[in-house]
Amino acid sequence: MMKRQRSTALVGLMIASLVCSNAQVKAGNHDGFVAGMCAVGAAVVGIAGAVALVDWCCSETDDQMIERIDAQCRDISGCYQEDMRYAERLIRMYDSSESMLHEFATYVWNKNSTQSDYRSGVSTAKSNLQSSAETLRKRVNKLGNKSLNYEDQQRLRRMRQLLKNVEELLSNVTRFADVLESHRDYFNLYDTIDTMRTRYFHEITILESNRFSTEMEIKRSIINRDNGQYAFRTFVNNIKSDIATLESKIYALKHTYIAKRQYAQTLLNCLITIKNIVVNDPRYQQELYEWEQAELQRARLEVERARARAEEDRARAEYNRAWAEQRKADAMREQNRIAAERNRIEADRLRNERHAIHNPDVNVNFDFYVTI
């Protein structure tokens, strides 16, 4: 209904614009004022028609909006309804304790999703529902202020019911998103611990076995992982960065989270122990020395390359300068040659003029008359 009304208004604006334009063409010099007013009116109506055309092409009908928002609600419910029920059961079971957070974080992990990605998805769903609820309210208020036929009354009833569903779902998703956001530090630490244990699984397993050959096996594991020239140095640099990341996540915890904090600290101690085992190996020190020497050699080569580039640049600049000087000298010689040629021509002209004055040509005409 609203789409048809906008279509009718658009056609009216276009017809009015054409009428005014036609009146301007028909108006002659005797009716300049009328023609001018019609021109202004045509311009204004034409702009309004263009705006209406854009709005008409880009807007969606009430039925399209209802279908879109209804599909959006079904998708969000399908993605998160079961998760929200599970979270509510955990809250009732554990009374919002840390065990509930661990259980739900593991539940998300089993979905092959990181905690941050999952939390971002819930936040996006919340924002989309808020936008849809606002759109629905505007349409409902707009239709509610009009006199409607039966079809539009049915449409308004569907929109009000859909708005009620959206607001109910939005309330649930908002509470769910608030819980995830209030414990985001816990979930971030969960992600970090999972990443670290996966990355150093072999070394941690060997360390936890507490065998006599633990240090040797850890070093062998590192060498098997990386057959590069600086395997120990690369490993130490990486594990130092991961240790710093894990420390920062532990420090960022706003709540106590006793169990998770202790577990994270235990993992941190394991990583530090593994790092120290590698650092105390003479091969690590040898790799550091070789790498430093290689870096010094690379630095020397870079200095030599820079010096060579500078010499090349100076030689090129000298060549360009010499070439410019040569071009300048050639131009000066050409100018001198042209000036000399001009002087020679001028001297020849003056000499010819003086010769003509001193040796004038005498033209004698003989007229023969015959008398009979």
- Of the three residues 280, 310, 341, the one that is the final residue of a domain is 280
Give yes or no for residue 69 having a pLDDT over 60: yes
The predicted structure's pLDDT at residue 285 = 92
pLDDT digits (tens, 9 = 90+) for 270-323: 999 999 999 999 999 999 999 999 989 889 988 989 989 998 898 989 899 999
Total structural domains in the chain? 3
The predicted structure's pLDDT at residue 58 = 52
Whether 77 is covered by a domain: the verdict is: yes
Instruction: Say if residue 52 is in the same domain as residue 67.
Output: no
Instruction: Say if residue 171 is in the same domain as residue 68.
Output: yes
pLDDT digits (tens, 9 = 90+) for 83-131: 999 998 988 887 668 899 999 999 999 999 999 999 999 999 999 999 9
Whether 340 is covered by a domain: the verdict is: no
Share of the chain above pLDDT 70, in %: 80
Instruction: Say if residue 38 is in the same domain as residue 25.
Output: yes
Instruction: Say if residue 76 is in the same domain as residue 48.
Output: no
How many angstroms separate the CA atoms of 152 and 155, rounded? 5
Instruction: Say if residue 161 is in the same domain as residue 81.
Output: yes
Residues 6+ apart with CB under 8 A from 45: 13, 16, 17, 20
Is 186:101 a contact under the CB 8 Å cutoff?
A: yes
Residue 146: pLDDT band (50, 70, 90) is confident
How many angstroms separate the CA atoms of 24 and 29, rounded? 11
Instruction: Say if residue 230 is in the same domain as residue 201.
Output: yes
Nearest to 189 by CA among 120, 115, 117, 240: 115
Whether 364 is covered by a domain: the verdict is: no
pLDDT digits (tens, 9 = 90+) for 174-219: 999 999 999 999 999 999 999 999 999 999 999 999 888 899 999 9
The residue ranking higher by pLDDT, 55 or 77, is 77
Share of the chain above pLDDT 90, in %: 54
Instruction: Say if residue 94 is in the same domain as residue 175.
Output: yes
The predicted structure's pLDDT at residue 166 = 95
Residue 240: pLDDT band (50, 70, 90) is very high
Q: What is the mean pLDDT of the chain?
A: 82
Residue 1: pLDDT band (50, 70, 90) is very low
**Domain carrying residue 31:** 2-58
Instruction: Say if residue 174 is in the same domain as residue 218.
Output: no
Instruction: Say if residue 35 is in the same domain as residue 106.
Output: no
> Can you say how many angstroms the Cα of residue 154 is from the centroid of all Cα atoms in its chain?
44
Whether 31 is covered by a domain: the verdict is: yes
Q: How many CA atoms are closer than 13 Å to the CA of 363, on its beta-carbon side?
A: 0
Whether 16 is covered by a domain: the verdict is: yes
The predicted structure's pLDDT at residue 255 = 84
- What SS3 state is found at 271? helix
- Of the three residues 182, 213, 246, the one that is the final residue of a domain is 182
The predicted structure's pLDDT at residue 50 = 45
Instruction: Say if residue 110 is in the same domain as residue 131.
Output: yes
How many angstroms separate the CA atoms of 241 and 250, rounded? 15
Whether 288 is covered by a domain: the verdict is: no
Instruction: Say if residue 118 is in the same domain as residue 137.
Output: yes
